[in-house]
Amino acid sequence: MLAKFFTFIVIILFALTTSAQVSIIPEPVSVVTPKGEYKAGKQINISVTAGAQSVADLLKERLTNSGINCSVAVGQEKASISLLINKTADKTIGKEGYQLTVGASGVTISANDNAGLFYGVQTLLQLFPADVEKKNGLKDASIALPFAEITDYPRFGWRGLMFDVSRHFFTKQEVKDFIDQMVKYKYNILHWHLTDDEGWRIEIKSLPKLTSVGAWNVKKEGYFGTFSAPAPDEPRNYGGFYTQEDIKEVVAYAKERFVNILPEVDVPGHSLAAITAYPELSCSGGKDNHGVCSGESIKDWSTHTALVDDNLCPANENVYVFLDKVFTELAQLFPFEYIHTGGDETFKTYWEKSDAVKALMAKEGLKNMEEVQSYFSKRVEKIVESKGKKFMGWDEILEGGLAPNAVVMSWRGMKGGIEAAKQNHEVVMSPTDFVYLDYVQGNKIMEPRIYASLRMKKTYQFEPVPEGVDPKFIKGGQGNIWTEQMYTIRHLQYMIWPRAFAVAEAVWSPKAKRDWKTFIPRVEEHFKRFDAAQVKYAPSMYEPDVATAINSKGELVVTLTPEIDGLNIHYCFDNTFPDNFYPVYSAPVTAPKDAVMMRIVSYKNGKQVGRIITMPIDELKKMAKK
């Protein structure tokens, strides 16, 4: 009896002190949710400290878009939401942190700086119903917000996403939308990959052919890298570029949202667009060059051989004059203190054949091609520094010796970053095996073709500071979105989300607060927000990983491994469409002898969550052979 009474008391206390779960991504440093909610009603008044109105205006814009009546005033006493800049700085939260309280008398967000207020606002918006993301989604709704006490600040100052606009061009508006989406998850760096073999995307006034010639190729669809070479007379009208006015507009838009833009001009490799515009910049003078790449094969990736010369020539002084012009204009357009100069995947085929490079090696005492690239990097570093900027490159710039002040972005795993940090250089971690957001999020057999798969579960394990490395050299991390196989903004969204939630959490949340089990329900809540906002995402986490083997009887055996808990995976081999009345997968299954197709579908709590996936038996057998 006594035990029952105590259980009763515990239940009552629990009911009094706990409240609805909040689902914040990235997970804050500390969240307490007392029971109760603040009833804001149908009109929201925002009060803001003078000097921070721009943050209040952005909040107003978001709420107004969702149909809420909203006003902003400076220093009001009675407001539904108060945005306050601390008179005395709170050292714990730093420049980007905030305190957020939702209580009986309303919402207060306090911060040391406008950036912190802005991040507090992003968290606050996640406390609103999902329809806050929908145009007029909360029109005439009476708003109630759960009580909350949140303290929050980022783990890293560099929280980036790289956006490749060269392989496929994305408009200025699409870039702004991308920024809107990234800041919701507290990213603060947009690494803008502006040049590559498929297009030069930024107007350089002193070098007009970079965009009149270099921004245009032939539209192809299918499997990038295997396209037929364009005919000489095919119109080159696919692509585009940003004028300098466009760039200024995007930079200002980003700055208002506390995003720094890191421009990348990728040299000396990946430069076919520039070389098509100015063939004299390559060692071969462009003799095998058939134009800006349209997705045809220009490199043999298995042997690291260039089939077309896409490298700037390190032995040509005019190349450095060219780069000086480019970086002069770039430095004026982008206020961020870093410029990324690429350096990756420079296949040296044409350098090896070049007499000018041989002469350079003799003159400078360079022993191999890596030292030639290092010579080039050091010269580029000097140019970048002469514009008042810091020089940054992919981890290949370590080969042959790092330039004196280079900042390294480690992409071929973490080892380049570890090596650079050991040499006391700043590092940003963006390893392929954890944060390459161009890899499909599900099994390759289920997804649009690209060279690799990377499950969100693996991304969630991304830890930017490796064992044994001084954390002071690790500026943070970023996810990279290469767009070879992304033709539209819809597919780009599909590739990024929800996996970029995992990256956001790795670079913002305290390491100890990261937990896959609590992450997934939060992701599911955010799917509702994405549905409301009509932003696409991949449902791949509901679709299992597939492994196959051929057993001793020559039969195909299929193993399905779910990425998350709580799924029922139904399957069939009879070439029909499975639903929750079909057999549930519980152990590896053997395909019937004459089956041609396996189909699967996932359910959770009785509801279909995954797509119906069709897997031809022939493909499954091929997987087994590999």
DSSP 574: B
- The first and second tokens of residue 20, run together, are 């609805």
Site for ligand ACM in 553-612 (CB under 6 A): none
Question: What is the CA 308 to chain-centroid distance, rounded?
Answer: 30
Contact in structure between 486 and 492 (CB atoms under 8 Å) = yes
Specify the residue for token string 């107004």. Answer: 64
* 433 makes contact with ligand ACM (CB under 6 A): no
Q: Which of 270, 340, 425, 570 is catalytic?
A: 270
**DSSP codes joined into one string, 270-320:** S-HHHHHH-GGGSTTTTTT--SS--SB--EETTTTEESS--S--TT-HHHH
Beta strand 37-41 with 143-146 is antiparallel
Q: Which of 196, 329, 381, 447 is catalytic?
A: 196
Is 536 buried (19+), middle (13-18) or exposed (0-12) by CB count in 10 A?
Answer: middle
For 23, the 3-state DSSP assignment is coil
Question: What is the CA 507 to chain-centroid distance, rounded?
Answer: 12
Question: What is the CA 401 to chain-centroid distance, rounded?
Answer: 29
Q: Which of 345, 433, 525, 545 is catalytic?
A: 345
Closest residue to ligand ACM: CB criterion:
344
Which residue, 394 or 462, is less far from ligand ACM as judged by CB?
A: 394
Q: How far is the CB of 412 from ligand ACM (least distance, A)?
A: 8
Specify the residue for token string 């990959």. Answer: 193
Which residue, 84 or 481, is less far from ligand ACM as judged by CB?
A: 481
Which residue, 499 or 514, is less far from ligand ACM as judged by CB?
A: 499
Q: How far is the CB of 540 from ligand ACM (least distance, A)?
A: 21
Contact in structure between 48 and 72 (CB atoms under 8 Å) = yes
Site for ligand ACM in 305-364 (CB under 6 A): 344-345
- The first and second tokens of residue 17, run together, are 């002190």
Which residue, 98 or 347, is less far from ligand ACM as judged by CB?
A: 347
Question: Closest Cα partner for 492 from 502, 503, 501, 482?
Answer: 482
The end-to-end CA distance of the chain, in Å, is 64
Site for ligand ACM in 198-217 (CB under 6 A): none
Which residue, 324 or 419, is less far from ligand ACM as judged by CB?
A: 419
**DSSP codes joined into one string, 184-213:** TTT--EEEEE-EETTEE-B--TT-THHHHT
Which residue, 244 or 432, is less far from ligand ACM as judged by CB?
A: 432
Of positions 147, 187, 375, 394, contacts ligand ACM by CB under 6 A: 394
Other CB atoms within 10 Å distance of the CB of residue 581: 6
Which residue, 249 or 345, is less far from ligand ACM as judged by CB?
A: 345
Which residue, 269 or 442, is less far from ligand ACM as judged by CB?
A: 269
Site for ligand ACM in 457-516 (CB under 6 A): none
DSSP 448: S
- The first and second tokens of residue 37, run together, are 């909610």
Q: How far is the CB of 164 from ligand ACM (least distance, A)?
A: 9
Instruction: Count Cα neighbours of 88 within 13 Å in the Cβ-side half-sphere.
Output: 0
For 11, the 3-state DSSP assignment is helix
* 234 makes contact with ligand ACM (CB under 6 A): no
- The first and second tokens of residue 42, run together, are 């149908």
Task: Decide if 196 is catalytic.
Answer: yes
> CA-CA distance, 344 to 411, in Å (whole number)?
9
Q: How far is the CB of 214 from ligand ACM (least distance, A)?
A: 19
For 547, the 3-state DSSP assignment is strand
For 584, the 3-state DSSP assignment is strand
* 411 makes contact with ligand ACM (CB under 6 A): yes
Which residue, 393 or 544, is less far from ligand ACM as judged by CB?
A: 393
> CA-CA distance, 477 to 469, in Å (whole number)?
15
- The first and second tokens of residue 12, run together, are 């009552």
- Sign of the Cα torsion 259, 265, 267, 271 reads positive
Which residue, 411 or 585, is less far from ligand ACM as judged by CB?
A: 411
Task: Decide if 270 is catalytic.
Answer: yes
Which residue, 261 or 572, is less far from ligand ACM as judged by CB?
A: 261
Buried b vs exposed e over 136-157: b needs ≥16 C-beta within 10 Å? ebbeebebebbbbebbbbbbbe
Other CB atoms within 10 Å distance of the CB of residue 16: 11
Site for ligand ACM in 18-77 (CB under 6 A): none
- The answer for residues whose C-beta is within 8 angstroms of residue 494's C-beta and 6 or more apart is 536, 537, 538
Give me the residues that bind ligand ACM (CB under 6 A), please: 344-345, 394, 411
- Catalytically annotated residues: 196, 270, 345
